[in-house]
Amino acid sequence: MDTSTELILIRISGVDRPGLTATITAILAGYDVDILDIGQADIHSTLSLGILFKCSEQDSGNILKELLFKASELGINIRFYPITAEEYEEWVGMQGKNRYILTLLGRKLTATQIASATRVLADQGLNIDAIRRLTGRVPLDERKAQVRACIEFSVRGTPNNREELQTNLMNLSSSLGMDFSFQQDTMYRRMRRLICFDMDSTLIKTEVIDELAERAGVGKQVKEITERAMRGEIDFRESFKERVALLKGLDESVMKDIAVNLPITEGVDRLMYVLKKYGYKIAILSGGFTYFGNYLKEKYGIDYVYANNLEIIDGKLTGRYLGDIVDGKRKAELLQLIAQIENVDIAQTIAVGDGANDLPMLSIAGLGIAFHAKPKVKANARQSISTIGIDGVLYFLGFKDSYLDERANS
């Protein structure tokens, strides 16, 4: 660095007001300084502003004097810190390090949760650069419906042990009742384009085959097989054949009645509206049935539906199915196929599901999210949501409540 120049960091705090940043930078502009870094945060009308600038040695005294007078006039606090060339070069060197985003999500977030999660980051040698709240301000009345809180940490560095970090965050998620996502902050994270959902127990709050079985009088038998399959205790394909066979003789009209009364998962309306508004391609990849997937397709403008077809003859289910079974392996293949059709890199894809047969697509997607998932699924997914509705996916994509209009927030 030229010895005739100085590097100075100023830190300003106080009550925020319109034009404060403009006033401070106008003083610097009068001396034609170079701004090397700038950052600002506002918490409940309290401003924190930092500016690192380079100026000539002969101007530095006058600059600091003008800033002090202006700070006194505005009723704000200002502090000055000289920065050495070595300190600056070290800071520049940090820019090449990996960057990550840690997102914490829950009905509310406590000091214990934040302290525990940030301790995991510190223990891994990671440094927090910035913190921002993605949700609207939390109401004091916690009894209000659909209250949620989300904080996003921008983190720099390379974890000492990425798997250990993931495990520790997962353990905190279970013990402290919060959700998290830890993603590398790359171009692909900011440009997700395709999202694939499981249907049963994900977009809807039931397993449709269980609903059909209840109407057919075989509910207990089918539900038992379903639960074993979703826990990964038995092969999905074999369990599917067994369950469908038990539906033989059920009247086709029952399917329509179930479809119009499907219990939609909390947050689906908001999620679908936002995804469509921002141009995402949306797919349902389900081990359930095409009939119900198509109902959701029409309701939400979903782009693709791949599920299983039940054979119907003379208005009755035959207990057989048509075509290939959509199992876990097929879901992963379909995600890759749709990505190719839409010319989307696999790193730009998202998959959301709850069962063991969703793990293959969760593992290959750029962002795989276990939603209110079975323990085995949650343990093997890198991200999970268990505390709030499915619109929590939006926060893992970086959406902030203030980005969204009134309809999206309803």
- pLDDT tops 80 at residue 38: yes
C-alpha pair distances (Å), 170 with each of 113, 238, 299 = 12, 32, 35
Of 353, 344, 25, the C-alpha closest to 199 is 353
* pLDDT for position 45: 79
Report pLDDT for 219.
92
The tens digit of pLDDT for each residue in 354-410 reads 988 999 999 999 999 999 998 888 888 889 999 999 999 999 999 998 776 544 444
Gap between the Cα atoms of 318 and 311, Å rounded: 6
> Which of the residue ranges 220-224, 254-258, 270-274, 389-393 would you say has the lowest mean pLDDT?
220-224
Q: Residue 95 pLDDT > 70, yes or no?
A: no
Bridge partners of 204?
Answer: 200, 264
Residue 44: its pLDDT value, please? 75
Q: Which residues pair with 41 in a beta bridge?
A: 48
pTM: predicted TM-score of the whole model, two decimal places? 0.82
Whole-number pLDDT of residue 407: 44
Least confident of 2-16, 325-339, 362-376, 386-400: 2-16
Q: How confident is the model at residue 85 (pLDDT cuts 50, 70, 90)?
A: confident
pLDDT at 201: 94
**pLDDT class of 34 with cuts at 50, 70, 90:** very high
Tokens standing for 8? 């100075």
Among 21-25, 186-190, 281-285, 343-347, where is mean pLDDT lowest?
Answer: 186-190
Q: Which range is least confidently modeled, 53-57, 108-112, 406-410?
A: 406-410
The whole-number pLDDT of residue 408 equals 45
Q: CA torsion sign, 53 to 58 to 64 to 67?
A: negative
Residues 297 and 342: their CA atoms lie apart, in Å, by 18
Q: Quick one: pLDDT at residue 146?
A: 65
Q: What was the pLDDT predicted at 138?
A: 60
pLDDT at 206: 92
Question: Which residues are tagged catalytic?
Answer: 198, 200
Alpha-carbon distance of 150 to 399, in angstroms, equals 10
Q: Return the residue matching tokens 């525990």.
A: 116
* pLDDT over threshold 90, residue 73: yes
Distance between CA atoms of residues 104 and 133, nearest Å: 10
Q: What's 313's DSSP letter?
A: E
**Tell me, what's the pLDDT at 94?**
63
Q: What is the pLDDT of residue 363?
A: 96
Predicted pLDDT of residue 189: 86
* pLDDT of 278 above 70: yes
Angle between helices 290-300 and 253-260 (to 10 degrees): 40
Average pLDDT of the residues of the chain: 90
Confidence of residue 4 (pLDDT cuts 50, 70, 90): confident
Higher pLDDT, 42 or 148: 148
The yes-or-no verdict on residue 300 having pLDDT over 70 is yes
Q: Which of 102-111, 138-147, 178-187, 366-375 has the lowest mean pLDDT?
A: 138-147
User: What's residue 120's pLDDT?
Assistant: 96
pLDDT for the residue 88? 85
pLDDT of 75 > 50? The answer is yes
143 versus 52: the higher-pLDDT residue is 52
